[in-house]
């Protein structure tokens, strides 16, 4: 039988990397039972925490990289253990101390982000290209709103639909907005969760400087990940901005009577809560409110929604890592949507968008179900 001895130094390394909350864990296992990974494969979250408590963490294990930071476990934890912080700390220990193995796909994305400011390795000078034909102005001091699209809607040929729809809606309504295009860099939320603390800091500092230099006060974002880090993490580094997710902003426009619809969307639409809008930031009602305001649209719910919504699998840097067929949460989600007879899955997150799009394609269901961002639906109905 393998005999283990506690290794204090390893625990200390994890605690120093921000894993302090692990001390509180009393090993009840509700995290394991709550974790979506256990729908598709074994992932004993509790054991990871216990191993970290004793310093016997297997830094070489692929389990280090599984957590999608969906926060379902943290929400239920009876001792208030910030399990995501522990997971992130273990990853930081691997990345910064060079113990263990960083998955190739993640390493490449991290390199791209550090180098080009986006995970796709696209040229920074082409970051504003998505808006080229839309008459979007560059943000300058005095502009009311900075629209920050996130790397994926800025570059991905398919997901560009999201940023373009947003700009179209804004233009139609006469919203005073601009973009910073080539000056933006990735927000850094996911790469931080993946353990690259230094990369995050340099991205955040660069963005904060850019925003301050341009006298940015209000930022509207398409990604809940940008939303989360701008709102909750940038202030630690001195970046204080008013941050609004597009779903919230659209809901405000409806409330103010500025946004009105003239077309019907006669579809059954199922809304998928994104983890970073929902569980991380408590925004559940606004996206639903926007969808329900669209004439003809029938809004339905997943069996698990709001606080209990199933993650798409894309948080915590998972979006850049390979998830084998049969283990993709978004596949389960698409099946659930099909069972409910939905024609459209409505989303509020570019990561969800990528995962759901891939699931629909690989499951060969694109004939019967579509994946759309909430801004696209709004643009269509105007």
Partner 1 sequence: MEETRIGVYICHCGLNIAGTVDVEEVTNYAATLPSVVVSRDYRYMCSDPGQDLIKNDIKELKLNRVVVASCSPRMHEPTFRKACQDGGLNPYLYEHANIREHCSWVHDDKKVATEKAKDLVRAAIKRVYYHQPLEVKEVPVNPKVLVVGGGIAGMQAALDIANGGHQVYLVEREPSIGGHMIQLDRTFPTLDCSECILTPKMADVGHHPFIELLAYSEVEEVSGSIGQFKVKVKKKARHIDESKCVGCGICEEKCPWKVPSEFEMGLGKRAVVYIPFAQAIPNLATVDVDHCVYIQSNGKKCGACIKFCEAKAITPETLLNQTDQIIEVEVGSIIVATGYDQFDPSVIPQYGYGRYDNVLTGLHFERMTCAAGPTGGKVVLKDGREPENVAIIHCVGSRDQNYHEYCSRVCCMYGLKYAHLIKELTDADVYEFYIDMRCFGEGYEEFYKRLSEEGVNFIRGKVAKVTDVAISDEEKGKLIVVAEDTLLGKLIRVPADMVILCAALEARADADKVASLFTLNRRADGFFLERHVKLDPVATPTDGVFICGCCEGPRDIPDTVAQAEATAAKALSLISKGKITLEAAIANVDETKCLGCGRCEEICTFHAPKVISKNGVMVSELNETLCKGCGACAVVCPTGAMLIRHFTQEEILAQVSALTEV
347 — phi, psi (to 5°)?
-130, 165
Within 10 Å of residue 137's Cβ, how many Cβ atoms? 11
Residue 343 buriedness (CB in 10 A; 0-12 / 13-18 / 19+): middle
Out of 18, 20, 30, 289, name the contact with partner 1 by CB under 8 A: 30
Q: Is 23 in the site for partner 1 (CB under 8 A)?
A: no
Per-residue burial over 279-316, b if 16 or more Cβ lie within 10 Å, else e, is bbbebbebbbbbbebbeebbbeebeebeeebbbbbbbb
Instruction: Return the DSSP state at 118.
Output: S
Q: Is 120 in the site for partner 1 (CB under 8 A)?
A: no
**308-337 residues near partner 1, rule: CB under 8 A:** 308
Strand partners for 299: 269
> Of 55-63, 77-85, 111-119, 362-370, which segment contacts partner 1 by CB under 8 A?
77-85
Q: Is 20 in the site for partner 1 (CB under 8 A)?
A: no
> Of 29-37, 57-65, 116-124, 322-330, which segment contacts partner 1 by CB under 8 A?
29-37
Q: How far is the CB of 64 from partner 1 (least distance, A)?
A: 17
Q: How many residues bind partner 1 (CB under 8 A)?
A: 21
**269-308 residues near partner 1, rule: CB under 8 A:** 303, 307-308
Are 169 and 204 within 8 A, CB to CB? no
Q: Is 166 in the site for partner 1 (CB under 8 A)?
A: no
Give the strand order in the sheet containing 218-221.
177-178, 145-148, 218-221, 242-245
> Of 73-81, 110-118, 198-206, 340-348, which segment contacts partner 1 by CB under 8 A?
73-81
Q: Is 341 in the site for partner 1 (CB under 8 A)?
A: no
Q: How far is the CB of 287 from partner 1 (least distance, A)?
A: 20
107 — phi, psi (to 5°)?
-60, -40
Residues of this chain that bind partner 1 (CB under 8 A) = 26-34, 38, 42, 44, 46-47, 76, 78-80, 303, 307-308
């Amino acid at each position: 039988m393998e005999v283990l001895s506690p290794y204090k130094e390893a625990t200390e390394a994890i605690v120093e990397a921000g894993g302090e909350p692990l001390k509180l864990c009393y090993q009840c296992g509700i995290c394991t039972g709550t974790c979506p990974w256990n729908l598709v494969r074994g992932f004993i979250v509790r054991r990871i925490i216990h191993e970290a408590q004793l310093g016997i963490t297997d830094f070489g294990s692929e389990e280090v990289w599984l957590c999608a930071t969906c926060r379902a476990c943290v929400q239920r934890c009876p001792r208030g253990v910030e399990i995501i912080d522990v997971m992130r700390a273990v990853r930081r220990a691997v990345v910064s101390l060079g113990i263990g193995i960083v998955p190739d796909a993640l390493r490449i994305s991290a390199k791209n982000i550090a180098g080009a400011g986006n995970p796709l390795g696209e040229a920074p000078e082409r970051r504003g290209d998505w808006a080229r034909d839309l008459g979007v102005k560059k943000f300058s001091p005095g502009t009311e709103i900075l629209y920050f699209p996130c790397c994926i809607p800025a570059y991905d040929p398919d997901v560009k639909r999201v940023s373009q729809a947003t700009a179209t809606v804004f233009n139609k309504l006469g919203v005073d907005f601009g973009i910073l295009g080539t000056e933006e860099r990735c927000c850094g939320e996911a790469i931080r969760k993946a353990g690259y603390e230094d990369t995050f800091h340099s991205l955040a500092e660069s963005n904060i400087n850019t925003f301050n230099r341009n006298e940015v006060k209000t930022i509207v974002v398409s990604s809940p990940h940008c939303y989360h880090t701008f709102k909750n993490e940038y202030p630690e580094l001195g970046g204080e901005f008013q941050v609004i997710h597009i779903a919230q902003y659209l809901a405000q426009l409806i409330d103010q009577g500025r946004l009105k619809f003239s077309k019907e969307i006669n579809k059954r639409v199922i809304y998928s809560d994104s983890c970073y809008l929902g569980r991380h930031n408590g925004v559940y009602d606004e996206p639903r409110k926007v969808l329900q305001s669209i004439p003809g649209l029938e809004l339905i719910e997943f069996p698990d929604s709001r606080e209990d919504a199933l993650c798409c699998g894309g948080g915590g840097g998972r979006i850049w890592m390979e998830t084998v067929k049969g283990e993709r949460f978004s596949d389960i989600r698409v099946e659930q949507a099909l069972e409910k007879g939905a024609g459209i899955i409505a989303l509020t997150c570019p990561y969800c968008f990528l995962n759901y799009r891939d699931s629909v394609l690989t499951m060969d269901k694109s004939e019967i179900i579509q994946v759309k961002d909430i801004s696209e639906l709004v643009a269509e109905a105007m």
